[in-house]
């Protein structure tokens, strides 16, 4: 087989692959739907799915201090409050701000408390809330002691391999707690 035939065959194979991918993508989009799961939330911001298929939603709350909450929504769309009275306040652009990113593993829920510049661990069995990262003051590090490491508006949290990854948005960093 000469080089020009090989190039043509590769080009035809790529074109067929691209065509099949495009058809699959269009078919997926054609069947997609956008539905409301539930209503009555207070500025929903973060979500995570439990092993039981329930959706946990962080809600930044209302302008009232302490109105942040985490709701649990079942597969039928029924909402109930899992945790209420979480820190919230008015941020620098006059919007309520409370819990943001969520990650759950077993009975442990991690919450990025954005405007308080910390990440909290909530034991859902006992209800004990512990700060695991951050000082409560906006800043950028230092890196060594998790409770002395200043954060600047953490948003996303994810745990994997015994480590907790945190998107420290205004510090432009991903931090890892091991």
pLDDT means per 10 residues in the chain (178 residues)?
42 44 51 86 90 92 77 94 75 63 94 89 91 93 90 93 94 94
The pLDDT, as a whole number, for residue 127 is 86
The answer for residues whose C-beta is within 8 angstroms of residue 141's C-beta and 6 or more apart is: 149, 150, 171
Separation of first and last alpha carbons in the chain: 55
State the pTM of this model. Answer: 0.75
Q: Domain extents for the chain?
A: 1-34, 44-177
Q: Give CA–CA dist 105/122, Å, rounded.
A: 11
Distance CA 50, CA 133 (A): 23
Closest CA to 115 of 95, 130, 132: 95
CA pair distance 169, 45, nearest whole angstrom: 15
Secondary-structure class of domain 44-177 per CATH: mainly beta
């Amino acid at each position: 087989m000469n080089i020009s035939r090989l190039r043509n065959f590769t080009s035809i194979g790529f074109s067929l692959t691209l065509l099949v991918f495009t058809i699959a993508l269009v078919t997926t989009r054609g069947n997609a739907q956008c539905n409301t799961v539930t209503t009555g939330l207070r500025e929903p911001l973060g979500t995570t799915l439990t092993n039981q298929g329930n959706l946990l939603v962080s809600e930044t709350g209302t302008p009232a201090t302490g109105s942040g909450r985490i709701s649990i929504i079942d597969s039928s769309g029924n909402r109930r409050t899992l945790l209420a009275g979480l820190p919230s306040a008015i941020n620098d652009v006059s919007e309520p701000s409370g819990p943001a990113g969520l990650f759950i593993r077993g009975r442990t829920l991690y919450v990025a408390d954005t405007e308080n510049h910390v990440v909290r661990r909530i034991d859902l069995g006992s209800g004990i809330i512990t700060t695991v990262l951050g000082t409560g003051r906006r800043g950028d590090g230092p890196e060594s002691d998790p409770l002395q490491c200043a954060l600047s508006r953490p948003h996303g949290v994810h745990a994997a391999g015994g480590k907790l990854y945190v998107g420290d948005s205004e510090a432009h960093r991903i931090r890892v707690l091991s």
